[in-house]
Chain A
């Protein structure tokens, strides 16, 4: 006989004047290869169509479905119920604005992050459609791609003590984004210009280096290495700034 799973799900619909924040219990029979994607959709379609949650690719590649599963931020679509105890508690990610139940607004947070970090290649070169592409070392290309694999799920930020305490802390995802452009030879920004963006307590010097971000990143991004890399680089830039100001 399959397990009967007990789901405790956070409920609150800010658009409904009769709604108040509370936990609601659901019972669902487990089936083979069940993921939280399958489970939540069954709950919505069979038990309570008012349930609000986000999924898109359902394959662990788009980053839509991050939530706190039994205390730990992760992607719900690639979480198998078989790996969880019978009691499953689902909460929305902290830090982000709540849309309803376990859906949060990561989109706005990340859009603000692009603007803050100016998340694009800064170059004075103009594209010439008739020319052959500029060459790049394959190892460098792979290094850039490695950092660009972030799916913007928000788990790292949700797990970060600093980000929970301070709204203005940029978080590992933003710092990783900056690192991506620092290693890209096409980006002509200088260390000093990067320093303007992240060389402060909201940026790289606010990070306490406690590793929670890397632990929860579902894409296994090398966040600690990047934070270390930026801290060293920005530390040196800070010292240079002090001397150049004299």
Chain B
């Protein structure tokens, strides 16, 4: 078995992981980055729409500022976010976008003069000022007061990911693809690296580091219907929870995107609605303007997903062999717009639906999309519970998204948080020396070797990992989707407890040799069911509706009792998570109020938690 040493081990080579690596390497530290797939295939590259930063260059972004961005973010979060983090984010985002431009991102730029845009299916005119020519421009996204989303056609994530990975190559950072972390090495107080399985040969190695950062993205794949890549499977969250001391923040906060296509759940970007696309029902009539006269299709994602589900429940859905759906209409945007600004959408329609969006409607429905939930960290990105462990990006709950993140705020978060956390890690490394007890490392390796041997030899039982995974996914779809209620959640928790028990009896059908996928799946199934149980248990406990967490039996947002963040721990040997709570924010620049969309009543807080009197 081989052992590798570095100052910093980054688990995950998406935008957040590579941004951290760049920052720490530039400060002179040795960094190794791990990834299941080549870095550029990380899910960051799938983001089409863009990233938010208040540059205020384009006509419709005039008057924008980090303050407005901050306000939108707090509202979007339904007052569930840490306001200091949201502030830090909004202030830093413009600098990071400019830095990306310097590194090579081909942002779309302001073109002066008159041009047209669509909103709610209607055509409007705008005028871009000549003095802004060539500055980074922006498009409209849901839940924002200004056009603030910077973009490169509809391949923003791809372009930024290329640039970041180029930057890593330039700095000579050691990025190792086809490597998967399967356990953390720790002594209960300090994290010392990870045990890693090579996805080429199947061999295990120990990676020892003074600091470890988990940047493994979201865990949408524990749901059956999700827009996420197959590698967004919660592996990073599982190994953190397995330590017993690192909590998951707000597991019940899972975002559903309004426009996953039916049946494959592939996302068509929010840019479609941002650029003026509309949602239609079975009668090909618009409906979002009825429920949300002001924002219509551009209300935040949780709101649009709910109204869509509601509208389908009213019998206005389109029936199909794959269940009901609604239509997304971008026909009026015209050939030029679709074949340049929405080209990926065009390709998705062609390849996966066999339709032409210039003349045909796109079948869509809400689909799991984003995990606001994640490894709970403080403002520096340091994980609760273990010294030397950090996290950033979608994997973390840094918490600028609270209970609903705005479109374009996540990709921006990866680079903003990556930059800030990278700097904090460099500071941490500066002041840290550690020794690596060989006994501890040996024990960690042996534990994993034993797990693998037991799975291959069928020591635990005869359960099929794929069947167990399906049972978990079905349970979440039934009990923990867009709408939730006490009865279904209780059933969901019960089912998941059975699934958890089954997950302990999995064994392999194949021999597990080399780049074996069945073994990879079997190694993480137990952790995945733990995550599922955290979601269901936390959703059952939270007797209110906030952001994406919607309880039909508790429709009010209850600031009196629930202005809090859930912390879900999984102590060793337990078969259910332990839920604790902390104040959602300690700073209240913007006291809880109405979001201005989404309706719903609010039970006001008597006193703001965490605030000194």
Where the two chains meet, the residues of A that have a C-beta atom closer than 8 Å to any C-beta of B are: 13-16, 32-33, 35, 44-45, 48-52, 54-64, 78, 80, 99-100, 103, 105-108, 110-111, 114-115, 118-121, 123, 125, 127, 129, 131-138, 140-142, 144-145, 148-149, 151-152, 184, 186
Q: Mark B184-207, 1 if CB is under 8 A from A, else 0.
A: 000000000000000011100000
**Do the beta carbons of B170 and A138 come within 8 Å of each other?**
no
Which residue of chain B has its CB nearest to the CB of A52? B515
User: Do A119 and B135 form a contact, CB below 8 Å, given A16-B513, A100-B515?
Assistant: no
**Do the beta carbons of A120 and B155 come within 8 Å of each other?**
no
**Do the beta carbons of B159 and A145 come within 8 Å of each other?**
yes
Which residue of chain B has its CB nearest to the CB of A146? B153
> Chain B: interface residue count, which band?
35 or more
Q: Could you list 18 examples of A-B contacts with CB < 8 Å?
A: A15-B513, A16-B511, A35-B264, A50-B511, A52-B514, A52-B517, A59-B352, A80-B351, A100-B514, A107-B178, A127-B98, A129-B95, A136-B101, A137-B109, A138-B111, A142-B340, A144-B106, A148-B155
Instruction: Name the one of B37, B135, B167, B517 contacting A120, with C-beta atoms under 8 angstroms.
Output: B167
**Do the beta carbons of A141 and B46 come within 8 Å of each other?**
no
- B231 interface residue, CB < 8 Å from A? yes
Contacts of A58 in B (CB 8 A): 229-230, 264, 266
**Do the beta carbons of A63 and B153 come within 8 Å of each other?**
no
Report the separation of the CA atoms of residues A59 and B347 in the bound assembly, to the nearest whole angstrom.
Answer: 10
Which of A35, A59, A131, A134 gathers the greatest number of chain B CB atoms within 10 Å?
A59
User: Do A56 and B229 form a contact, CB below 8 Å, given A120-B169, A127-B99?
Assistant: yes
Report the separation of the CA atoms of residues A5 and B350 in the bound assembly, to the nearest whole angstrom.
Answer: 23
Contacts of A105 in B (CB 8 A): 178, 200
- B263 interface residue, CB < 8 Å from A? yes
Known: A62-B37, A62-B40, A135-B133. 7 other contacts (CB 8 A): A15-B514, A52-B515, A100-B515, A121-B104, A131-B98, A136-B109, A184-B106
Contacts of A14 in B (CB 8 A): 514
Q: Mark B345-356, 1 if CB is under 8 A from A, else 0.
A: 001100110100
Distance of A40 from chain B, by nearest CB (Å): 11
**Do the beta carbons of B95 and A49 come within 8 Å of each other?**
no
Contacts of B591 in A (CB 8 A): none
Where the two chains meet, the residues of B that have a C-beta atom closer than 8 Å to any C-beta of A are: 37-38, 40-41, 43, 45-46, 95, 97-99, 101-104, 106-111, 133-137, 152-153, 155, 158-159, 162, 165-167, 169-170, 175, 177-178, 200-202, 229-231, 263-264, 266-267, 321, 340, 344, 347-348, 351-352, 354, 466, 508-511, 513-518
Instruction: Name the one of A62, A78, A114, A125 contacting B45, with C-beta atoms under 8 angstroms.
Output: A62
**Do the beta carbons of B517 and A44 come within 8 Å of each other?**
yes
Which of A103, A110, A120, A133 gathers the greatest number of chain B CB atoms within 10 Å?
A133
Instruction: Name the one of B38, B162, B175, B517 contacting A49, with C-beta atoms under 8 angstroms.
Output: B517
Distance of B314 from chain A, by nearest CB (Å): 27
Which residue of chain A has its CB nearest to the CB of B470? A45
**Do the beta carbons of A52 and B153 come within 8 Å of each other?**
no
Report the separation of the CA atoms of residues A49 and B429 in the bound assembly, to the nearest whole angstrom.
Answer: 43
**Do the beta carbons of A62 and B229 come within 8 Å of each other?**
yes
Report the separation of the CA atoms of residues A57 and B165 in the bound assembly, to the nearest whole angstrom.
Answer: 18
Report the separation of the CA atoms of residues A87 and B137 in the bound assembly, to the nearest whole angstrom.
Answer: 50
Contacts of A49 in B (CB 8 A): 466, 508-510, 516-518
User: Do A138 and B134 form a contact, CB below 8 Å, given A15-B514, A50-B518?
Assistant: yes
Report the separation of the CA atoms of residues A133 and B57 in the bound assembly, to the nearest whole angstrom.
Answer: 11
Contacts of B45 in A (CB 8 A): 57, 61-62
Instruction: Name the one of A57, A111, A123 contacting B43, with C-beta atoms under 8 angstroms.
Output: A57
Contacts of B134 in A (CB 8 A): 135-138
Contacts of A141 in B (CB 8 A): 106-109, 152
Contacts of A50 in B (CB 8 A): 510-511, 516, 518
User: Do A120 and B158 form a contact, CB below 8 Å, given A58-B266, A61-B46, A142-B153?
Assistant: no
Which residue of chain B has its CB nearest to the CB of A78? B351
Report the separation of the CA atoms of residues A100 and B510 in the bound assembly, to the nearest whole angstrom.
Answer: 14
Instruction: Name the one of A80, A133, A148 contacting B98, with C-beta atoms under 8 angstroms.
Output: A133
Report the separation of the CA atoms of residues A208 and B264 in the bound assembly, to the nearest whole angstrom.
Answer: 40
**Do the beta carbons of A35 and B104 come within 8 Å of each other?**
no
**Do the beta carbons of B155 and A125 come within 8 Å of each other?**
no
Report the separation of the CA atoms of residues A61 and B228 in the bound assembly, to the nearest whole angstrom.
Answer: 12
**Do the beta carbons of B352 and A61 come within 8 Å of each other?**
no
Instruction: Name the one of B102, B108, B516 contacting A127, with C-beta atoms under 8 angstroms.
Output: B102
Report the separation of the CA atoms of residues A169 and B319 in the bound assembly, to the nearest whole angstrom.
Answer: 53
**Do the beta carbons of A33 and B41 come within 8 Å of each other?**
no
**Do the beta carbons of B516 and A106 come within 8 Å of each other?**
no
Contacts of B37 in A (CB 8 A): 54, 56, 62, 64, 107
Distance of B112 from chain A, by nearest CB (Å): 10
